[in-house]
Amino acid sequence: MRPAHLLVDLDAIRHNMAVIQQIVGPDTRQAAIVKANAYGHGAVPVCRACVQAGAAMLCVAIADEGVVLREGGITAPVLVLGPPDPEECDLYLDHDLLSTISDPAHVRMLADAAARRGQRARVHLKLDSGMGRHGARSDVLDETADLLAASPHVELVGIFSHLADACNTRLDWSERQLQVFTDMLGVLRRRLGEPLPPLHLANSAAIIRMPDTHFDYVRPGAILYGLNPGFDDSLMPVGFRPALSLKARLATIKRIPAGEPVGYRCAWRARRDTTLAVLPLGYADGYPRALSDNADVLVGDRRCPLVGMVSMDAITVDITDAPGAQVGDEAVLIGAQDGERITVEEIARRAGTIVEDIVGRLSTRLPRVYLGQRGGGES
């Protein structure tokens, strides 16, 4: 196996689902967000763990991600959160994927494809309550609802919206979105009758901060993987466990004299006689270039500074203060080593981005090693 790899703790994901269920209560189900290769953790193994832990639905961003799950043996309901394309309609029907519609054109294209095949397309209706991206606004809501009611080949099985600012200290905009969502549901009740299909609105932040958004499903993303979705650390409940570690083995160790440059552009020069370790991974693996001379790596239970530029396939670390380190020893870029820990949150802060960006960019060329895999059970 490659000496740089990701370690994914599936028991941590199951544990986090249990924590989420305690927060939302027994009457609300979980629709796990597993887009972007399950936030870099590996879609199929993570989905198996989620279903084993009670996930009622899995959510991806694009139809191709849903196909990957089906080809991996996942049979649970899969909702594609992005809008359908006319050329993808058969893909949804071939693989029993739930599509998200937010425009009359979406209803027509799916109805035509399903009628041609003698099938029914199952859909969730997305409402734009204030995010400003995908989602039906009030000007198309009546027409969309009427088409759904009239079409025998399209079945509405869910209604949802998405919150734009639930990590903000102030929840004014999120509360406004909740009110808009509620008002739009009133329109749909008048057009479609009662009862409406299951509703979902809450993302990770709202699961924790806005219990009145929980409805029938919640959609955990960052917190499913033990990550802070972006609010103050004091708001993060205790009990969530990070599921991912990034590790590599020291590939080369060398001594360089004071004043010697290291890496591209000679951007860093040794201030003293220095022991360097070279690790065999870089920005092509998703380790951000913004961490150049701006991160720590755990070697020999010590924090050692990354020095010089992050290259495509290599980084250099000053291990002068980690005596005894040898080629082949383990280095931790994300995760714990004895009493020290480097979190995804720390990496994101140093890189000037968000946790989802860090884990979402982790390359598929990094092998994933899974802890807590279980055989059998539903998938």
| Three-state SS letters, 188-202 | HHHHHCCCCCCEECC
**Are 179 and 35 in the same domain?**
yes
State residue 67's pLDDT score. Answer: 98
Within a domain: 231: no
**Are 295 and 190 in the same domain?**
no
Strand partners, 245: 7
Within a domain: 122: yes
CATH number, domain of 291, equals 2.40.37.10
Contact 343/352 with Cβ under 8 angstroms?
Answer: no
**Are 121 and 203 in the same domain?**
yes
Start-end of H helices in the chain? 10-24, 35-39, 43-52, 63-71, 89-94, 104-117, 138-150, 172-192, 204-209, 344-351, 355-360
Could you give the CA distance from residue 202 to residue 197 in angstroms, rounded to a whole number? 16
Q: What tens digit of pLDDT does each residue of 66-101 get?
A: 999 999 999 999 999 999 999 999 999 999 999 999
**157 is written with which tokens?**
């099985």
Could you give the CA distance from residue 192 to residue 199 in angstroms, rounded to a whole number? 14
Phi and psi at residue 11, to the nearest 5°? -65, -35
**128: helix, strand or coil:** coil
Within a domain: 268: yes
State residue 374's pLDDT score. Answer: 84
Helix (H) or strand (E) holding 237: none
Contact 128/141 with Cβ under 8 angstroms?
Answer: no
**To 10 degrees, what angle do helices 138-150 and 104-117 make?**
20
State residue 226's pLDDT score. Answer: 98
**Are 205 and 277 in the same domain?**
no
Within a domain: 372: no
**359 is written with which tokens?**
């884990």
Q: What tens digit of pLDDT does each residue of 297-345 get?
A: 999 999 999 999 999 999 999 999 999 999 999 999 999 999 899 999 9
Task: Tell me the catalytic residues.
Answer: 35, 264
Start-end of H helices in 222-361? 344-351, 355-360
CATH number, domain of 33, equals 3.20.20.10
Question: What is the count of structural domains for the chain?
Answer: 2
Phi and psi at residue 342, to the nearest 5°? -115, 120
**Domain encompassing residue 16:** 10-226
- Residue numbers in the chain where pLDDT is lower than 70: 375-379
Contact 40/285 with Cβ under 8 angstroms?
Answer: no
**Are 26 and 151 in the same domain?**
yes
Amino acid residing at 319: I
State residue 101's pLDDT score. Answer: 97
Contact 13/21 with Cβ under 8 angstroms?
Answer: no
